């Protein structure tokens, strides 16, 4: 049996991320014709709290639920950093994609649309209203790195292009060593994040994962591949309450909470994709005991 090209992994910490992860997994199995490895990571201290219906859904959808040790990685604790701990874990595929749990594929997709060799595929952040651009001088100086010459358009901030700054909710990266020292991309990312975390900067939390990401891509000897908005369409914000645009072939939406998902009539679609695989639209109707007992 051949190994898939791509692993897609996400956090399934109960209860919120657990339930969102169920919808995400169902959408991946619906919209990807190819085989991809699906992995749900959960902090070791909460994995025992996962609901049986979620474990049944993950079993049926062939999602490998794995514990991660998050204690002591960041001081004080940094829950947003759980994605980085998850990214550090071993996987068998050549590429991996971290996805926030509050994401949903709504149209057919392929791994080739998300992967670009020698690059980390990312989506621009919507904005950077939490700080001025001068903060980047301090961030790059802390890591002894030069400022990049490139500027990018943030997805919802169009006055002028700004320093490269990406949404850390979707990151597609090569596995295995990428530097001359034999470091992986995620090892570089974690190392730089911990360096920046020691610097006296405002707003390090919760933005540490995002502020370290562009530096990690370059320090790892890679470049960024900016995905089209169709691969990462963010709901909410200034688009709150507006329907999905009909002139875009949107593959994946980032919805933040189920209320926003319902406003664009996509909660119905999420439940429909779950029903396609589980035979039920509602979590409380799933016969978890039977599914978990089946070999």
| pLDDT 10s digits, 112-163 | 999 999 999 999 999 898 899 999 999 999 999 999 999 999 987 778 899 9
Q: Fold for 6-289, please state it.
A: Spore Coat Polysaccharide Biosynthesis Protein SpsA; Chain A (3.90.550)
Q: How confident is the model at residue 168 (pLDDT cuts 50, 70, 90)?
A: very high
- Select the more confidently predicted residue: 49 or 77: 49
Q: Evaluate if residue 1 carries a pLDDT over 80.
A: no
Write down the number of H helices and E strands in the chain. Answer: 9, 12
Residues in the chain: 295
For position 295, what pLDDT does the model report?
67
Task: Retrieve residue 231's tokens.
Answer: 């691969």
For position 68, what pLDDT does the model report?
97
Task: Retrieve residue 51's tokens.
Answer: 């609901």
Most confident of 182-196, 237-251, 256-270: 182-196
DSSP state of 127: -
For position 139, what pLDDT does the model report?
96
For position 100, what pLDDT does the model report?
97
Count CB atoms within 10 A of the CB of residue 65.
Answer: 18
Q: Looking at residues 251-261, what average pLDDT do you find?
A: 93
Provide Rg for the chain, Cα atoms. 19
Task: Give the global pTM.
Answer: 0.96
For position 292, what pLDDT does the model report?
94
Q: Evaluate if residue 94 carries a pLDDT over 70.
A: yes
Helix 267-278 × helix 52-60 angle, to 10°: 70
Cα–Cα distances (Å) from 147 to 213, 266, 282, in that order, read 13, 40, 49
Q: Evaluate if residue 257 carries a pLDDT over 80.
A: yes
Contact 102, 134 (CB under 8 A): no
CA dihedral 103, 106, 108, 112 (to 10 degrees): -30
Q: What is the mean pLDDT of the chain?
A: 94
Q: Looking at residues 268-290, what average pLDDT do you find?
A: 96
Q: Evaluate if residue 27 carries a pLDDT over 70.
A: yes
For position 239, what pLDDT does the model report?
72
Distance CA 267, CA 255 (A): 10
């Amino acid at each position: 049996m051949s190994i898939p090209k791509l692993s897609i992994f996400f956090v399934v910490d109960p209860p919120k991320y657990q339930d969102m992860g169920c919808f995400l997994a169902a959408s991946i199995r619906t919209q990807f014709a190819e085989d991809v490895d699906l992995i749900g990571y959960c902090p070791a201290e909460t994995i025992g709290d996962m609901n049986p219906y979620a474990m049944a859904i993950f079993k049926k959808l062939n999602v490998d639920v794995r514990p991660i040790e998050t204690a002591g990685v960041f001081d004080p604790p940094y829950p947003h950093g759980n994605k980085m701990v998850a990214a550090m874990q071993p996987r068998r595929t050549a590429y991996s994609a971290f996805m926030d749990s509050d994401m949903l594929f709504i149209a057919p997709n392929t791994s080739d649309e998300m992967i670009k060799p020698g690059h980390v595929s990312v989506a621009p952040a919507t904005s950077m209203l939490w700080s001025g651009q001068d903060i980047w001088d301090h961030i790059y100086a802390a890591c002894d790195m030069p400022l990049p010459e490139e500027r990018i358009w943030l997805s919802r901030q169009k006055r002028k292009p700004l320093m490269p700054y990406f949404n850390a909710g979707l990151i597609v990266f090569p596995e295995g060593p990428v530097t001359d020292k034999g470091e992986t991309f995620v090892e570089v990312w974690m190392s730089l994040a911990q360096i920046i975390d020691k610097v006296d900067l405002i707003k390090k939390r919760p933005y540490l994962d995002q502020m370290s990401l562009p530096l990690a891509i370059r320090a790892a000897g890679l470049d960024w591949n900016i995905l089209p908005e169709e691969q990462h369409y963010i709901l909410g914000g200034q688009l709150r309450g507006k329907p999905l645009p009909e002139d875009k072939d949107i593959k994946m939406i980032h919805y933040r909470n189920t209320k926003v998902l319902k406003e664009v009539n996509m909660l119905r679609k999420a439940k429909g994709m779950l029903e396609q695989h589980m035979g039920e639209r509602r979590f409380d109707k799933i016969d978890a005991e039977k599914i978990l007992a089946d070999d």
